[in-house]
Amino acid sequence: MNTLKVIILLASLSGLLILIGYFMGRGKGIVIALIISVLMNFGSYWFSDSIVLRMYNAQPVTRVEAPALYDAVESLSAKANIPVPKVYVIPNDTPNAFATGRNEDHAAVAVTSGILKILNQDELEGVLAHELSHIKHKDILISTMAATVASAVVLLSRWAVFFGNDEGSTISAIAVAIIAPIAATVIQMAISRSREYEADAGSARISGKPEALASALAKLSYAARKKPMDANPSTAHMFIVNPLSGEMIMNLFSTHPPIEKRIERLMKMKGNLS
């Protein structure tokens, strides 16, 4: 998905927010919705990385503490031509990883302790290159913006029911409260799924080993089905594989494309890299 499409999708989320504000209080409601949106985006821009890392008790590591992991991040960052992000390990046996931060100069890569146990070095580098690709293409900022605006849509859609001035407006508000969160989820899915495909391709270009990431994805997906991670649904889109994939209902609204399609695309790239 190109930048224009991402802008259109984010604008759609903002439009939903304004619509809900209208049902809450016409002109005043729109102003309230815009203020909430601005505040949420400001807060997420500056503090989302520290909030998410703290949420999962991620611990910073040095080269001495995790030499293979740190060296891989440093080497791949040089290949991706980006500053070396901070490196964190999450004390969780379910293998997974994510990147966070507002830009290349303020970014972090976090992996669970479980991922270090089941992946070989090539597979680990494939995963890390995927996360570095997210950082390089500013996906971490895009996904944060989408998540915060979508959260505002869901929150305000619930409030809208209590601001109906008559029977007609109350019914409309109830309809908005039902439809808006679904629409927000679909828009968020469209953004996140596309960025995952692009990060997979970016990983293949950075590491030069698309088959290694394909192998890693197969292992991570299997592990997630066997033992889903106790993750906050609002952050599920940040992980390389859906940490909630063990839940059937989450499969219907997954922020990640099917693993089979991701692996198929990666294998088609094998041998075509210059």
Catalytically active residues, by annotation: 131
Q: Quickly list DSSP for the chain.
A: --HHHHHHHHHHHHHHHHHHHHHHHHHHHHHHHHHHHHHHHHHHHHHHHHHHHHHTT-EE--TTTSHHHHHHHHHHHHHHTSPPPEEEEE--SS--EEEEEEETTEEEEEEEHHHHHH--HHHHHHHHHHHHHHHHTTHHHHHHHHHHHHHHHHHHHHHHGGG-SSHHHHHHHHHHHHHHHHHHHHHHHHHHHHHHHHHHHHHHHHHS-HHHHHHHHHHHHHHHHHS-----GGGGGGBSS-TTTTSHHHHHT-SS--HHHHHHHHHHHTT---
Rounded Cα gap, residues 211 and 226, in angstroms: 23
Which residues are registered as beta bridge partners of 110?
A: 88, 98
